[in-house]
């Protein structure tokens, strides 16, 4: 992951077990910083090739993440990444309501048990649905999943919570999603919101998601949030509600506390 700007802390703590700080020369008065370091040093850092010791402005800091991932915070805390669509937002309900309204249909969640829209809609209908979700404001008024806000606020007192949404699938959704999160989950700081593509880059202890494909290369434990479309997915810990999520983490916390006190 290569980032720009001053988000080193987020980069170091969330995204990567290997963190390189690319040191820039100090800004001159009013002038933009420019890179004077040799980019080949980055290559040397990641390869075993011998090379001259970096001596022209590049500093490296290597932080190997040790389990538990949440270093620096009490060991009973977990870092929990939470998906947005169909986990804290009932996106499917909005899609169905709006699509039915526009096209005089009567599709329901039960039509999507173990199926995706492209499997139950004609090609032109599916095209209409995709252009509907690409509208800038579509994600701005999603219903909040029952108990999601209250449970996440309670969990945030004991654990580190991040929202990780694969927003790159619908890039037009960024602003509406961000505003929605600020409105309904104001206790989650903007620096703990991650708009991403492939979630395997997320460095957390748990990922709560309705799409099991995000668990394939995820470093931590995947928790499958039940939805009609994942009804047939097997091999994951499945939760059916946010109250069940809360119970799951109460049990995890109790186990950790008993381990800590036993030691």
Q: For Mg ion, which residue of 15, 70, 81, 86 counts as binding (CB under 5 A)? A: 86
Rounded CA separation 15/46 (Å): 17
Rounded CA separation 232/251 (Å): 26
Active-site residue (options: 85, 86, 90, 205): 85
Rank residues 41 and 86 by Cβ distance to Mg ion and give the closer one.
Answer: 86
CB of 246 to Mg ion, least distance (A): 19
Phi-psi region of 170 (alpha: psi -120 to 50; beta: other; left: phi over 0): beta
Rank residues 69 and 88 by Cβ distance to Mg ion and give the closer one.
Answer: 88
Of 118-147, binders to Mg ion (CB under 5 A) are: none
Q: Is 97 a catalytic residue?
A: no
Q: For Mg ion, which residue of 85, 90, 160, 205 counts as binding (CB under 5 A)? A: 85
- CB of 89 closer than 8 Å to CB of 143: yes
Rounded CA separation 105/102 (Å): 8
Does 41 bind Mg ion (CB under 5 A)? Our answer is no
Q: Sketch the per residue contact string, 187 through 226, with Mg ion: x for CB under 5 A, - otherwise.
A: -----------------------x----------------
Report the Cα 186 to chain-centroid distance in Å.
17
Summary count for the chain: helices (H), strands (E): 8, 6
Q: What is the dihedral of CA 89, 95, 101, 105, to 10 degrees?
A: -130
Q: Is 85 a catalytic residue?
A: yes
Rank residues 81 and 155 by Cβ distance to Mg ion and give the closer one.
Answer: 81
Binding site for Mg ion (CB under 5 A): 83, 85-86, 210
Residues belonging to the active site? 83, 85
């Amino acid at each position: 992951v290569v980032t720009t700007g001053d988000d080193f802390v987020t980069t170091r703590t969330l995204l990567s077990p290997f963190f390189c700080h690319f040191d820039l020369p100090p800004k001159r008065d009013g002038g933009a910083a420019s890179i004077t370091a040799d980019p080949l040093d980055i290559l040397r850092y990641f390869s075993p090739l011998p090379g001259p010791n970096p001596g022209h402005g590049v500093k490296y800091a290597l932080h190997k993440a040790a389990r538990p991932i949440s270093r620096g915070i009490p060991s009973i805390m977990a870092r929990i990444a939470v998906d947005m669509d169909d986990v804290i937002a009932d996106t499917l309900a909005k899609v169905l309501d709006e699509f039915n309204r526009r096209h005089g249909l009567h599709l329901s969640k039960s039509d999507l048990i173990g199926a995706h829209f492209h499997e139950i809609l004609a090609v032109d209908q599916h095209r209409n649905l995709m252009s509907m979700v690409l509208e800038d404001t579509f994600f701005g008024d999603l219903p909040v999943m029952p108990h999601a806000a209250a449970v996440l606020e309670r969990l945030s007192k004991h654990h580190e919570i991040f929202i990780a949404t694969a927003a790159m699938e619908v890039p037009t959704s960024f602003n509406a999603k961000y505003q929605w999160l600020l409105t309904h989950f104001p206790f989650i700081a903007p620096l703990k919101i991650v708009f991403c593509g492939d979630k395997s880059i997320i460095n957390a202890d748990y990922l709560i998601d309705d799409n099991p494909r995000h668990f394939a290369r995820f470093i931590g434990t995947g928790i499958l949030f039940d939805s009609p479309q994942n009804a047939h997915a097997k091999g994951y810990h499945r939760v059916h509600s946010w109250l069940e999520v809360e119970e799951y983490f109460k049990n995890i916390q109790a186990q950790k506390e008993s381990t800590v006190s036993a030691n």
